[in-house]
DNA sequence: ATCAATATCCCTATTTATGGGGATATCAAA
DNA sequence: TTTGATATCCCCATAAATAGGGATATTGAT
């Protein structure tokens, strides 16, 4: 259960309205933001305000936090509510509860602090390169079962399920950066 | 069938040796490069030398070219040969032929010049965000069959099969860039 | 010496994705 | 007006990934 709820909207009316609607919503810290930049600053992520990048960064750097972004048109992440401006307090709180029920709970979060092992990093890099589990198994000279095991652990540790999310994570962590490629290893 | 073969290696001995080994390999232009930078320059891609990024850029900007990168350790792309330094000319040419047999032929390349339609762009963006075909169908209010159709066309047009490759393509083309997000659309 | 972490491997079942066919309706350009 | 591009929908079959459950061996730290 997240302890912080961010409200991101340019309109002050909307921000204050939603803050009021959520005031009675259990005990959370409600944080209104006028822009994506302000939201990103609060997370101390300065490089980009792109939601999927923010998500990858949060998984990477601020592992003990979960976040919810409220959105009507642009998709942001799996953890996103689609609401209209006519939403009632009851509907809003009820949907938030349903969304949160799908999030990993506090107990799981402790495990999120783990960083990836060497082998998991190997697998993640190859996933980001676009290889299938079978391909990865062949490249690392291990069975496909082992690859699947590593991928389960990666998904659990990072809380990133999609291949595209893992790809962004890999890019952000220089797993597939040119600086890491030793040209002398070619051929 | 690609008309250009790039040989990328820091060692001049290796470059010249491979060039000689491929001299008798049908009628191709053999282009030795001493570094990834040189390789990237030849493709007129200046932003990054990361192979997967180069691949995405090639698919984007230089659609009429196919390329082969020879590599022993670091994975580069699906179109990559894994060879040891002890490879014979016969083995090299035979493996190259097998690899090329899997590449789309000249006839297909004409269609690669097409750019994505608006709807295909919509779908690609959501793929890059990590959504499943089912999720995308729900978000765009179309059937999953339509989503699959669009994805087939995207894959064919871009010659990018993997989700991670599509994600990189989307990032490079600002499909999921923060600049494109209208904050007023939030909520 | 025991314990935790890592890395390896296996199983079953289900869900998604891919590949290769199709079909229809709309609309704009030749 | 016919043709091509776009967007929509459907089918079947296979490949791949995911979700849940296991097991074993090694190694390094307590």
pLDDT at residue B169 in the model: 82
Same domain? For A48 and A125 the reply is no
Among B110, B144, B172, the domain boundary falls at B110
CA–chain centroid gap for A40, Å, is: 13
Please report, rounded to whole angstroms, the spatial distance between the CA atom of protein residue B86 and the C1' atom of nucleotide C30.
59
A120-124, A179-183, B107-111, B160-164: range with lowest mean pLDDT = A179-183
The shortest C-alpha distance from B5 to chain A (Å) reads 14
For residues B21 and B137, is the Cβ–Cβ distance under 8 A? no
Please report, rounded to whole angstroms, the spatial distance between the CA atom of protein residue B111 and the C1' atom of nucleotide D4.
14
Q: What angle do CA A147, A103, A136 make, to 5 degrees?
A: 10
Q: What is the pTM of this model?
A: 0.53
Pairwise CA distance, residues A157 & A165, whole Å: 13
Q: Identify the top-confidence range among A13-27, A43-57, B151-165.
A: B151-165
How many of the other CB atoms lie within 10 Å of CB of B118? 7
pLDDT at residue B36 in the model: 58
Mean pLDDT, residues A131-159: 91
pLDDT at residue B137 in the model: 94
**Nearest nucleotide, CA B155 to C1':** C18
Same domain? For A36 and A82 the reply is yes
Q: Which residues touch strand D (CB under 7 A)?
A: A 132-134, 148-149, 151-152, 155, 161-163; B 114, 117-120, 140, 142-143, 145-146, 148-150
Percent of chain A scored above 90 by pLDDT?
A: 13
pLDDT at residue A61 in the model: 41
Structural element, H or E, at residue A33: strand A29-33
Q: What angle do CA B6, B10, B15 make, to 5 degrees?
A: 50
B148 or A14, which is more confident?
Answer: B148
The shortest C-alpha distance from A111 to chain B (Å) reads 23
**Number of Cα atoms under 13 Å in the Cβ half of residue B151:** 20
Q: Report whether pLDDT(A134) > 90.
A: yes
Structural element, H or E, at residue B27: none
Point out the residue among A71, A128, A161 whose CB comes nearest to the CB of B186.
A71
Same domain? For A19 and A101 the reply is yes
How many of the other CB atoms lie within 10 Å of CB of B20? 11
A178 or B69, which is more confident?
Answer: B69
Same domain? For A52 and A11 the reply is yes
Among A78, A109, A140, the domain boundary falls at A109
Same domain? For B75 and B57 the reply is yes
pLDDT at residue A180 in the model: 37
- For residue B125, the chain A residues in CB contact (below 8 A) are 75
Pairwise CA distance, residues B157 & B111, whole Å: 7
Please report, rounded to whole angstroms, the spatial distance between the CA atom of protein residue A138 and the C1' atom of nucleotide C9.
15
* Cα distances (Å, whole numbers) of residue B53 to A43, A46, B41, B184: 28, 23, 13, 32
Same domain? For B24 and B101 the reply is yes
Per-chain mean pLDDT for chain A: 66
pLDDT at residue A169 in the model: 82
The shortest C-alpha distance from A149 to chain B (Å) reads 20
Cβ contact B36–A183 (<8 Å): yes
Same domain? For B98 and B49 the reply is yes
CATH number at residue A130: 1.10.10.10
Same domain? For A8 and A99 the reply is yes
Cβ contact B181–A71 (<8 Å): no
Same domain? For A102 and A120 the reply is no
Entry field: residues in chain A: 187
> pLDDT by residue (tens digit) across B97-131?
776 665 544 434 433 345 888 899 999 989 988 89
> pLDDT by residue (tens digit) across A166-177?
888 887 776 765
pLDDT at residue A27 in the model: 66
Point out the residue among B50, B70, B162 whose CB comes nearest to the CB of A186.
B70
- For residue A74, the chain B residues in CB contact (below 8 A) are 181-182, 185-186
CATH number at residue B28: 3.40.50.2300
* Cα distances (Å, whole numbers) of residue B117 to A55, B123, B151, B174: 28, 10, 12, 15
Structural element, H or E, at residue A9: none
Same domain? For B142 and B172 the reply is yes
- For residue B74, the chain A residues in CB contact (below 8 A) are 181-182, 185-186
Point out the residue among A36, A126, A171 whose CB comes nearest to the CB of B183.
A36
Within chain B, which residues score under 50 in pLDDT? Answer: 1-2, 44-69, 71-78, 104-113, 178-187
Same domain? For A22 and A103 the reply is yes
Please report, rounded to whole angstroms, the spatial distance between the CA atom of protein residue A145 and the C1' atom of nucleotide D21.
13
Helix (H, G, I), strand (E, B) or coil at A59: helix
Among B110, B145, B160, the domain boundary falls at B110
Same domain? For B106 and B118 the reply is no
Please report, rounded to whole angstroms, the spatial distance between the CA atom of protein residue A165 and the C1' atom of nucleotide D14.
27
* Cα distances (Å, whole numbers) of residue A70 to A65, A83, A146, B100, B183: 17, 7, 38, 48, 11
> pLDDT by residue (tens digit) across A89-101?
777 778 777 766 6
Any residues with CB less than 8 A from the CB of A39 and at least 6 apart, and which?
A6, A8, A33, A49, A54
Cα distance between the two ends of chain A: 50
B81 or A157, which is more confident?
Answer: A157
For residues B96 and B88, is the Cβ–Cβ distance under 8 A? no
- For residue A182, the chain B residues in CB contact (below 8 A) are 74
pLDDT at residue B73 in the model: 43
Point out the residue among A50, A165, A185 whose CB comes nearest to the CB of B74.
A185
Give the pLDDT band (50/70/90) at residue A13. Answer: low
pLDDT at residue A147 in the model: 96
Pairwise CA distance, residues A19 & A15, whole Å: 6
* Nucleotides in chain D near protein beta carbons (<7 Å): 5-11, 16-23
The shortest C-alpha distance from A100 to chain B (Å) reads 18
**Nearest nucleotide, CA B145 to C1':** D9
Structural domains counted in chain B: 2
Domain limits at A167? 114-185
């Amino acid at each position: 259960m997240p302890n912080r709820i961010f409200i991101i909207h340019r309109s002050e009316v909307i921000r204050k309205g939603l803050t009021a609607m959520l005031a009675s919503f259990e005990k959370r810290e409600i944080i209104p933001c006028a822009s994506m930049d302000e939201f990103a600053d609060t997370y101390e992520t300065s490089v980009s305000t792109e939601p999927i990048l923010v998500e990858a960064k949060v998984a990477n750097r601020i592992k003990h936090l979960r976040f919810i972004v409220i959105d009507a048109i642009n998709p942001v992440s799996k953890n996103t509510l689609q609401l209209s401006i006519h939403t009632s307090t009851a509907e809003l709180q009820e949907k938030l509860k349903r969304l949160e029920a799908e999030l990993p709970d506090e107990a799981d979060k402790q495990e999120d602090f783990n960083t990836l092992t060497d082998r998991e990093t190997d697998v993640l890099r190859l996933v980001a390169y676009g290889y299938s589990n079978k391909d990865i198994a062949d490249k690392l000279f291990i069975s496909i079962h082992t690859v699947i095991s590593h991928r389960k652990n990666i998904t659990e540790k990072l809380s990133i399920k999609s291949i595209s999310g893992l790809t962004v994570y890999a890019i952000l962590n220089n797993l597939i950066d040119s600086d890491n490629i030793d040209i002398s290893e070619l051929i």
